Amino acid sequence: MIRAELLKVTTTRATKAAIGVGIAGLIATQVTLVTVLPALASGAIGPGREALGDDLPAFELTSAAAQLAAVSPLGSSTGAGSIGIAVLAVLMLGVLAGTTDYRFGGIVPTALAEPRRGRILAAKVGAMAIVGAVVGVAYAVVSVATLLTSLALAQTDLAVSIPDLLGVLGRGALVVPLLGLLGLAIGILARNQLGGVLITLGVLLFELIAQATIQLVTGSLPVWAQLMPLSLGQAAVSPGVAGSIPPLIAVAALAALVAVVTAAAGAAMRSRDI
């Protein structure tokens, strides 16, 4: 059944478009933030910092921490809960994978071939995990390539250690399929593509608004307020900073969140009519 679900994900135009948009968006983000802007700041390209003046933000990729932040497979960002094109695309990929059967009626022959709803869900989860892992590796390759290009243009050495670099890339490659599975569970719960997309966007916007409000009221962002999908994903691929959730704990927390939502999707699939 996993092979059949893989075929659905990899041959549907919408899901292929989501994968393409995610990779293209990550390339655009990384090239802009990690390669072009630092090169402008260093004078490797363009008129130089003196000519650009204060219009150009300060960039430096000489420290190990800055290089680890730049190589994030989720895309470089300035906020713990920021929404990047790569993250949004993989969530939409999951939603589309979870709703395609309902939209085109494929769930009926699937249920006739395999009446046990649990096995259907397991096949969908397995297929999404495989596709998400492949996308995660592609994201990691793009991030490494843009970082190395930027360092070459700036004539800067790689300051980060190989184990730390592999740790960030590995956790990022793990977070991507987890986000895809979260989107899959939301899609199965919604059953409708538009509904699934709107629910996902609503959850993401709620996280951003809630965290901004909490930070405005309290003056800081407590750890409990970081237990949301975007923040957990960014914390998982970060090198670990004071006041944020440790990377491995963030991965475990995100996996637990995905497991809870997936269990709810499984319960809904078993209890309602096709």
Q: What is the largest CA-CA distance in the chain?
A: 69
What DSSP designation does 57 have? P
Would you give per-residue pLDDT tens digits along the chain (274 residues)? 888 888 888 888 888 899 999 999 888 888 887 777 777 766 667 666 666 666 666 567 778 888 888 888 887 654 444 578 899 999 999 999 999 888 877 888 888 788 888 899 999 999 999 999 999 999 999 989 988 888 887 778 888 889 999 999 999 999 999 999 999 999 999 999 999 999 999 999 999 999 889 988 888 888 888 889 999 998 898 876 666 789 999 999 999 999 999 999 999 988 887 7
Helix runs in 56-161, H state only: 64-70, 85-104, 107-113, 117-154
State the pTM of this model: 0.88
User: Which residues constitute the domain of residue 89?
Assistant: 2-271
Residues 142 and 26 sit within 8 Å (Cβ to Cβ): yes
Q: How many distinct structural domains can be found in the chain?
A: 1
Residues 35 and 70 sit within 8 Å (Cβ to Cβ): no
Which two tokens mark 269?
A: 């699939």
Residues 160 and 147 sit within 8 Å (Cβ to Cβ): no
From CA 172, how far away is CA 140, in angstroms rounded? 7
Residues 94 and 137 sit within 8 Å (Cβ to Cβ): no
CB-based contacts of 127, cutoff 8 Å, min separation 6: 2, 5, 6, 8, 9, 97
